[in-house]
Structure 1
Amino acid sequence: MSTDPQGLDTAAVAGWLAEQVPGSVAGPFEASLITGGKSNLTYLVTDGVHEYVVRRPPLGHVLATAHDMAREHRVMAALTSTTVPVPRMVALCEDVDVIGAPFYVMDKVEGTAYSRASQLAPLGAGRTRLISERLVDALVDLHAVDYRAVGLGEFGRPDGYLARQVSRWKKQLVASTSRDLPGMDELVRRLDSAIPEGGEGTIVHGDYRLDNALVQDDRITAVLDWEMSTLGDPLTDVALMLAYQALADITPSSGALVTDASNAPGYLDRQAVLDRYAAGSGRDVSDIGWHVSLAFFKLAVILEGIHFRHSQGQTVGAGFDGIGDAIGPLIEAGLAASR
C-alpha cells in the first residue's frame, strides 16, 4: 500500500529524475508534505542520500495561469547567478503523464520559514529586527537585477503592467467566486479609476513575505514561491509585503491563517519598511496607497479561491476552516487604502 502524500507519486518522480539527471537518485524516494493547498503543493523527498524539494500545482480547481511550474523554475534558475538567494534548480517536468501535473525538483535549502510571531519572539527583538531588515534588503536586491542580463527579457511586459494586473485579478475573481462579496465591486471601481502610470520595470516576486523565504543564522538563505513572478512595477512587491504585515490586525480571527510574523517584537513597522526600501532602492514610495489597495484586492481574490477549493474538498493539509471569513475585512482594507 502506498504511503505517498496526496498529489505525489514518489516512484514516478524518482524514475523520471533518474533518467533526466543520472546519478541524482540513489534509491526509492520517501516524501512528506511541506505545504499544501493554499498555494502550489510542496514536498520534501529523500532517497537517504539526497534531499530535494518537489513543487506541483494544487489539486482540483486550478486557474490556468496561476500555477505555472515552468515559470517558477525559469525565474529561480535565472537568479542563481545574482545576489538574490534562491535554491538550485535540478529538473523541470512538463509531462503531465508522470504524476498527473507538471512539477519541478530543486535542492533543499536549510532554513526556517517564519510565519508566526510566536516563532520569532524567542529570537529576541534585535534578531527579529535584523531578519526583517534583511528581508527588505533581499527585495531591494531583486529589484536591482538587470533582468535582460540574466535572460529574462521576455519574462513579462513592464509597460502597462498595473492596468493588466487589475484586469487579470478581476478575471481571477470571476473564476474563483461562488458567493456575493459586499464592497468588492466598489474596490474594483476605485482601482480601475486611478491606475498609476507605473515606474521602471523590474523582476517582481508577486507574493513577497517572510514565510516565503528561509532564514538561517539571521540570513535569508532562499526566497521561495515564485509562482506569481513576472516583470512589472516593483512597488507592487513592497505594497503586498505591507498588506501581509497588516493582515493579522485586519482579520484577527483568521489573519494568522497566512502570517502574523510582523507582530513579533522588533519587526520593522510599515514606515520603517518603506524607509529602508526607499533608501536601498532609491525609489519614490510616496504613491504607495493605490498599490496597497491593489495588494488587498489580490489577497482577497487569492483567499476567495482557496475558500472555493476548500468548500469543494480540494485542499490538502489543515488550517482552512474559516478562511472565507477573512475576505470581507480585506475588501474593507483595500477600500481604506484607496482613500
Structure 2
Amino acid sequence: MTASLAGRVHAAFPGQPVGPLRTLAGGHSGLTYTVAVGERRFVIKAVPPAERPVGRNDMLRQARVLNALAGSPVPVPGVVLVDEAPPAWFAMEFVDGAAVEPVLDEHDVPGALAAARMMGAARVLRRLHDLDVATLALDAPAPRDASAELAQWSRTMRAVPDELRPGSERLLRRLADAVPAGLPPVLVHGDFRLGNMLCRGEQAVALVDWEIWSVGDPRTDLGWFLLFADHRNFPALGRPVAGLPAEPDLLAGYLDGAAALPAFAWFGALCRMKMAAVMGHNLRRHREGRIHDPDQERLPPTIAAMIRSAAELLE
C-alpha cells in the first residue's frame, strides 16, 4: 500500500520534488504519514488496504470537517488536496506543535504552561460550540442526542467481561432513568482534550484527530475534556501536575460568564462511563489476543474508579 500511495502522492504534485512517505507517530486512524513536497511538509491520511472507508477510516469525512472549519475561530490544519478515488486519501498542512496530555503523558512541560494550555483549550472548545452548525458544509448525519450516546456506550460497556466493570449495570440503569433534555446541537469533536491539541508555547495552533466528529450535544465534548484535568480520575495511570486547573475552573473558562449548563453532572457521569467502556474494550481485546499491549493490564483500577465516580456524580 505504501508504494501505491506514494505513487499517487507523487502524481498529485507534478513537477515538484516529493520525498518518501514517513509514518507519523501518534496517528491512530487509517494510515498517517508525513511527506516533504519541495520546501513544504504535509500530513497524508489514507484508507488502509482492504478496509472500508467508514468510521475512523473515512478520510473524506475527516477532510470535509477540516475544510468546513477553514477560516473559522477554531484552529485546524488546512487541507491541501483530496483524492477521492478508492482508497481515498488527503493531504493537509503539517502544523509544528506539541500535543501533550498533562496528567497521562510522560513530558517535561512546566505546570504553569500546561495550565495555560488547558485554559486555552477550554476557550477553543467554546469557540467550536459557538459555530452555527447550519452554515458549515458538513453533510452531517442527524444530530446525536444524549439517548443515542448512552445507547452506544452502554453496548460497548456490556461487551466487556463482568469482572472488569464492577457496578456498571447499576450505573447504566441510573443513567437511563435520568436522561436529560437536549441542548441545541453543535459540532462535536468527539475526543476533545489537550492531547489532541497542537500547541506552541501557550498558543493552541491546531485541533487535530477529527475521526469521530458528529453533530450533537455540547456537554458530551465538555464532560470528556474535563475528565483529563485531574490525575486522580486515572488511578495507576495518572500523574499530578502542579497548578493544573480543576474541573470547575475549566468549566468557568468554557462558560466565560454564560449561564451554567443544565444537567451537566449527568454528562460527567456519562463520559466517565464511556471512558470505562473504552478501556474495558481495549483490555478485553488484549486479553483475547486480538492486540498485544501489556500496558492494558494497568487499566482495571481506572475502569473501576470511573464507574464509581460516575455513580457519585449522580447522587
Question: The TM-score by the shorter chain falls in which range?
Answer: 0.7 to 0.9
Deviation at 1:251, TM superposition (A): 2.8
Cα deviation, residue 83, structure 1: 1.1
3-state SS in 2 of match to 1:148 = helix
Aligned to 1:3: none
Matching residue of 2:171: 187
| Deviation, structure 1 residue 266 | 2.8
Distance in 1, Cα, partners of 2:206 & 2:279: 25
2:135 is aligned to 149
Tell me how far 1:290 sits from its aligned partner: 0.1
Is 1:46 the counterpart of 2:35 in the alignment?
yes
Indicate the residue corresponding to 2:246 in structure 1: 269
- Map 1:268-307 → 2, pairs under 5 A: 268-279=245-256, 282-307=258-283
Distance 2:25 2:180 in 1: 38
Q: Residue 123 in 1 paired to residue 113 in 2?
A: no
Distance 1:75-1:31 versus aligned 2 partners, 3 A rule: same
CA distance in 2, matches of 1:318, 1:93: 37
CA contact (8 A) 2:229 2:245 kept: no
Tell me whether 1:333 sits opposite 2:309 in the alignment: yes
Check the 8 A contact 1:18/1:24 in 2, yes or no: no
Aligned to 1:231: 215
- Structure 1 residue 10 corresponds to structure 2 residue 10: no
Q: Distance in 2 between matches of 1:337 and 1:266?
A: 24
Q: Which amino acid aligns with 1:252?
A: P
Q: Distance in 2 between matches of 1:29 and 1:56?
A: 15
**Counterpart position of 1:79:** 69
Alpha-carbon distance, 1:333 to partner: 1.9
Aligned 8 A contact 1:274 1:285 in 2:
no
Deviation at 1:228, TM superposition (A): 2.1
**Deviation of the 1:293 alpha carbon:** 0.5
Q: What SS does the aligned partner of 1:165 have?
A: helix
Residues of 2 paired with 1:299 and 1:24: CA distance?
48
Task: Determine helix, strand or coil for the equivalent of 2:42.
Answer: strand
Aligned length: 312
Per-residue displacement from partner, 1:201-227 (whole Å, max 9, x unpaired)?
Answer: 111111111111000031101111122
CA distance in structure 2 between the aligned counterparts of 1:87 and 1:268, rounded to whole angstroms: 27
Contact 1:124 1:265 (8 Å CA) reproduced: yes
Q: Given residue 246 of structure 2, which amino acid in structure 1 is its aligned partner?
A: D
Q: Percent identity?
A: 24
1:32 matched to 2:23? The reply is yes
8 A Cα contact 1:133 1:268, kept in partner: yes
Residue 168 of structure 1 corresponds to which residue in structure 2? 152
Compute the TM-score of the two structures, normalised by the length of structure 1.
Answer: 0.79
- Report whether the alignment pairs 1:211 with 2:195: yes
- C-alpha displacement at 1:66, in angstroms? 5.5
Instruction: Sort the Cα spacing of 1:321 and 1:91 in 2 relative to 1 into closer, same or farther, 3 A.
Output: farther
Rounded to whole Å, the distance in 2 between the matches of 1:241 and 1:321 is 24
Is the contact made by 1:59 and 1:314 (CA closer than 8 Å) also made in structure 2? no
Structure 1, unaligned runs of 5 or more:
1-8
Taking only aligned residues, the RMSD between alpha carbons, in angstroms, comes to 3.3
Match of 2:95 in 1: 109
